[in-house]
Amino acid sequence: MDNKEFKPFVPADKITPEFTVTSIIMGVILAVVFGAANAYLGLRVGMTVSASIPAAVISMAVIRVILKKDSILESNMVQTIGSAGESLAAGAIFTLPALFLWAKEGVMDAPSMVEIAIISVVGGLLGVLFMVPLRNALIVNEHGILPYPEGTACAEVLLAGEEGGSSAKSVFIGMGVAAVFKFLVDGLGVVAGVVTAKIEALKTELSAEVYPALVGVGYICGPKIAAYMFAGGIIGWFVCIPAIVTFGGDTILYPADVSIAELYAAGGASAIWSKYIRYIGAGAVAAGGIISLCKTLPLIVKTFKEAIAGLKGTKSTSNLRTEQDLSMKVICIGVIAMILLLWALPVIPVTLLGAIVIVVFGFFFATVSSRMVGLVGSSNNPVSGMAIATLLIATALLKVTGDVGAHGMQGAIAIGSIICIIACMAGDTSQDLKTGYILGATPKKQQIGEVLGTVVSGLAIGGVLFLLDKAWGFGSEAIPAPQATLMKMIVEGVMNENLPWALVFIGAFIAIAFEVIGVSSLPVAIGLYLPLELSSTIMIGGLIRLVIDKKNAKAGKKDGGEASNGILFCSGMIAGEGLVGILLAIFAVIGIDSAINVSGSFTTGQIGGLVLIIAMIVLVWRAASGKKEKQ
């Protein structure tokens, strides 16, 4: 549809409630809630999910059903502010936990909550500010060309106002189910968290975690991505581990300091994974991320040129409500303030020129991210590749200039964090502005809402990271922080030249092999890098989605995909588990976690775990295949 012919749902000349006290309070609460939940999820499995649609249906439930208000733009403002928390959390948890890991190793002092908050807020605000001048070029001028899948789906959910009650019900039921299951497993300890079957003939094991969020991730990502991840797990646990144990014998292979046979005898397949497979997986993820970035390079160059060219027509003299953006004066002042703040911050060891370079790179990646999510959606945005490329360049430059050791590594992670957060926030902002464009929201008010959500969630994410680290510790089995651990390994490898490069290159060539046969290597690499029990449970969710999709196709149904009951139920499960995870972290910090854990006197063990997995399959199936009240 030509943008000149496009008419939004709420006409430009109609004024309705939008940036209200209700929308601000609800949006801020959801920004913190979904930010915390997604931080927990990302630190467990290395990926996050969009919070826009769950935030939209919750806001509709409260505003339309409880408050009896008919204001679609108010609901849109809630999801705009609320989704900022999820995107900022995604950027932060990919990189910042590396600072905590180095502190535990005695490499450097632990970061302060103020440092984490400032890095998060600076990166988030730059992501939002960079997207503002791009709105006219990407959202308005290319309406009908760039689909922005999540933004369009969110608009469809909000437009289907009569579905608000039933859709929100799916989210809340999912939250409740996951909360109960999570509390049974990790709170009371009456159910085993992992179901494992040892396979001695192959010197390995097959295992699956008993957590609803993982089933939810598999369902939302779909069968293809889930299968790719599971394939990576199969390569790691049923090819690499058996090969290493079978051929290794008495060989002592770095980074282990005992023989492979002794290592396996002491810790089983998990010990082999920890010492060797993680590095193979790291090589695969690094290669997959860089390959995904290289594959989109022509599009990236084209995108940047078109966006810069489009900026010439950005300035508008129109007084229409739906065409009002934050002024370029505000944008320029904000960007200059961020540059000065980057230069002044001791935690980011860069000169004024270095701060300007960060901002230039940040604008480039913000432009790329904004257009990429418009084409392929936020889930396929190669943020990992951007972060890896940034870290490699930043670490190499710092080393060349003589900034080595702990100070240089700290600076590289801080720079990488800012770029990663910029890319995530620019992508989220563009999706939200697309939703607003379809609905007829006021862009300026949405942009102010994004800024508000960014600041609030940026201030909160530091507390969440400190809480989770104090409760379980990053790098532990509870929260392995896979992406941040990978970033840490990359920086250390470049700075100290101490990576087991043979293992890293084995992983890289596994990723290349998948690309050669036309399979996207990044999800396979993530499955290779993560413990098998994570990708196994994610695969269960993917299989449920596969059967549901085939059932719908056979029946001739055209379900709304992102707006389906199954997606909403699984989004609720992810949020519910994440929130209980945060609650249990608080219990652990204040010392009452052992008091509520009754595993010493009663436990159902792995039998209970199997029962919960079966129960999750049944519940997701029922939610996904249930009839909607209205279409």
DSSP 247-316: HHTT-B-TT-SSBHHHHHHHHHHHHHIIIIIHHHHHHHHHHHHHHHHHHTHHHHHHHHHHHHHHGGGT--
Asked whether residue 159 is domain-assigned, the answer is: yes
What region does 29 belong to: left with phi over 0, alpha with psi -120 to 50, or beta?
alpha
Question: Which tens digit of pLDDT belongs to each residue from 141-157?
Answer: 777 777 786 777 778 77
pLDDT of residue 168: 65
Categorize the per-residue pLDDT at 629 as very low, low, confident or very high, splitting at 50, 70 and 90: very low
- Range among 94-103, 150-159, 307-316 rated most confident: 94-103
Asked whether residue 75 is domain-assigned, the answer is: yes
Residues 6+ apart with CB under 8 A from 281: 232, 236, 507, 525, 526, 528, 529, 530
Asked whether residue 548 is domain-assigned, the answer is: no
pLDDT of residue 563: 40
Pick from 41-50, 179-188, 528-537: least confident: 41-50
Question: Which tens digit of pLDDT belongs to each residue from 553-585?
Answer: 777 665 544 446 788 788 788 778 877 877 887
Tell me what the mean pLDDT of segment 450-467 comes to. 92
pLDDT of residue 299: 61
pLDDT of residue 436: 92
What total of structural domains would you count in the chain?
1
Give the tokens for residue 496.
């100290």
- Range among 191-200, 276-285, 299-308 rated most confident: 191-200
Asked whether residue 495 is domain-assigned, the answer is: no
Using CA atoms, how far residue 150 sits from 99, 153, 270, 434, 580, in Å, is 32, 5, 37, 9, 26
d(CA 560, CA 437): 20
pLDDT of residue 381: 62
509: three-class secondary structure by DSSP: helix
Categorize the per-residue pLDDT at 385 as very low, low, confident or very high, splitting at 50, 70 and 90: low
pLDDT of 382 > 90? The answer is: no
Nearest CA to 171 out of 227, 114, 216, 229 is that of 216
pLDDT of 455 > 60? The answer is: yes
pLDDT of 603 > 90? The answer is: no
Nearest CA to 425 out of 447, 404, 398, 397 is that of 447
Residue scoring higher pLDDT (363 or 102): 102
d(CA 97, CA 186): 22
Greatest Cα pair distance, the chain, in angstroms, is 78
H/E stretch holding 491 reads helix 482-496
pLDDT of 35 > 60? The answer is: yes
Asked whether residue 559 is domain-assigned, the answer is: no
Residue with tokens 């046979």: 261
Which residues span the domain enclosing 134? 21-163+299-315+327-483
Asked whether residue 219 is domain-assigned, the answer is: no
pLDDT of 534 > 90? The answer is: no
pLDDT of residue 122: 92
pLDDT of residue 308: 60
pLDDT of residue 407: 83
Pick from 90-99, 215-224, 504-513, 540-549: least confident: 215-224
Give the tokens for residue 316.
């508008």
pLDDT of residue 127: 93
Asked whether residue 156 is domain-assigned, the answer is: yes
Residue scoring higher pLDDT (380 or 258): 258
Asked whether residue 592 is domain-assigned, the answer is: no
DSSP 120-149: HHHHHHHHHHHHGGGHIIIIITTBTTB--H
pLDDT of 52 > 80? The answer is: no
Categorize the per-residue pLDDT at 164 as very low, low, confident or very high, splitting at 50, 70 and 90: very low
d(CA 479, CA 473): 7
pLDDT of residue 537: 92
pLDDT averaged over the chain?
82
pLDDT of 311 > 60? The answer is: no
pLDDT of residue 1: 46
pLDDT of residue 616: 93
Query: For the chain, what percent of residues have pLDDT higher than 70?
Result: 88
Tell me what the mean pLDDT of segment 373-400 comes to. 72
Using CA atoms, how far residue 109 sits from 216, 350, 406, 591, in Å, is 37, 19, 9, 25
